Amino acid sequence: MKWTVIATWKMAAEGVKLAETALREAGTAEAALTTVITDVENDPRFHSVGYSGLPNQAGVVQLDGGYMDGGTLSVGAVGCVENVASAFTLAKQCADYQFNNFLVGEGARQYAIQSGLEMKKLLTPEAQMIYEQRKAQPESLSSYKGHDTVGVCCLDSRGMLASGTSTSGLFMKMPGRVGDSPICGSGFYADSDIGAAAATGVGEEIMKGCLSYEVVRRMQQGQEPQEAASTLVAEFTQKLIRKRGQAEAISLICVDKDGRWGVGTNIKFAFVVSDQNHSAKVYVAEPTTDGCVIRPWNVADQDVD
């Protein structure tokens, strides 16, 4: 049976390798997402997700995360949650209920405690140092320009699709700011009858086009995943430039019900893919006028993790 897992950024490579082992043994899409995303969340080397995430303007790490089960269309999400080890795990748990699927702030934190989820001080000494250095240079306050959200889409051997995200959001964001990552249809979407998608980049841009839902809609209308993702990002980038004069970073991954994957981006973007015929491999996508070109990642691509 076919299976595929695709994830944003090179930082997801180790998690994808772990997930592919389970998927080869009939593991579920839900379990694969959890493996990939929590591996990134727990790794202090990555300052845009989970533990060691970079803080907001007040020096506080606030996390966002989302999950969607393509078999049931169940959705769970959390925003601005503090001191929770895995925003994704908390979001996934929120998907188990009929109501209260999107929790934010203190309410989300209290629910995590009541549910027995792991709590953790997220701001590490290294992240604190980066924050203090940036704070001392107010003229340079801007969003973090490295890799950001970890987003994952997975098709398992049962034909079930799922997608999920986790992020600490833009570095030096305003307290309370929420981007696209926990918003169903913008940061993630999955329907096992069609496909799944996840986005990364500047959430304020991605939300303007509900891009994760839109790429799944295009696949439903017959576009192959690569065509759907690459043309969508190119077209929407041009629309933003036409209407607003500029477009910030947007990248999109997707997979359809047949295990075919696609990527769209308006920046140099790294991602990881594995399927039943290919072990995990990191690729780089770069934008063109009407889409993007994709090639294997190499040591010259150290500028894009």
Residue 60 predicted with pLDDT over 60: yes
Q: What percent of the chain has pLDDT over 70?
A: 97
Residue 144 predicted with pLDDT over 60: no
156 is in an annotated binding site: no
Residue 145 pLDDT grade (very low, low, confident, very high; cuts 50, 70, 90): low
Mean pLDDT of the chain: 95
Helices and strands in the chain, H and E counts: 8, 13
Average pLDDT for residues 59-84, to the nearest whole number? 98
**Residue 139 confidence (pLDDT):** 65
Residue 141 predicted with pLDDT over 80: no
Residue 136 predicted with pLDDT over 90: no
Contacts for 136-145 with beta carbons within 8 Å, 24 or more apart?
Answer: 141/57, 141/172, 142/172, 143/170, 143/171, 143/172, 143/173, 143/202, 144/47, 144/48, 144/54, 144/170, 144/171, 144/172
203 is in an annotated binding site: yes
Domain total of the chain: 1
* Residue 175: Cβ within 10 Å count: 13
Please, are residues 205 and 247 in contact by the beta-carbon 8 Å criterion? Answer: yes
Nearest in space to 72 (alpha carbons), one of 191, 165, 158 = 191
* Amino acid, res. 133: Q
Residue 95 predicted with pLDDT over 90: yes
Average pLDDT for residues 60-82, to the nearest whole number? 98
Residue 266 pLDDT grade (very low, low, confident, very high; cuts 50, 70, 90): very high
Helix (H) or strand (E) run with residue 41 in it: helix 29-41
* pLDDT tens-digit series, residues 147-164: 589 999 999 999 999 999
Catalytic residue positions?
A: 149
Nearest in space to 182 (alpha carbons), one of 288, 80, 35, 56 = 80
**Residue 18 confidence (pLDDT):** 98
**Residue 1 confidence (pLDDT):** 79
Average pLDDT for residues 15-21, to the nearest whole number? 97
**Residue 41 confidence (pLDDT):** 98
**Could you write out the three-class secondary structure of 241-278?**
HHHHCCCCCEEEEEEECCCCEEEEECCCEEEEEEECCE
Residue 278 predicted with pLDDT over 70: yes
Phi and psi at 113, nearest 5°, equal -65, -45
* pLDDT tens-digit series, residues 199-251: 999 999 999 999 999 999 999 999 999 999 999 999 999 999 999 999 999 99
201 is in an annotated binding site: yes
Which residues contact residue 10 at a Cβ distance below 8 angstroms, ignoring those fewer than 6 apart? 147, 270, 272, 282, 297, 304, 305
**Residue 140 confidence (pLDDT):** 60
Q: What is the CATH number of the domain that holds 146?
A: 3.60.20.30
158 is in an annotated binding site: no
Q: Which domain holds residue 12?
A: 4-301
* Residue 236: Cβ within 10 Å count: 21
Highest mean pLDDT among 134-138, 140-144, 259-263: 259-263
217 is in an annotated binding site: no
pTM above 0.85, yes or no: yes
177 is in an annotated binding site: yes
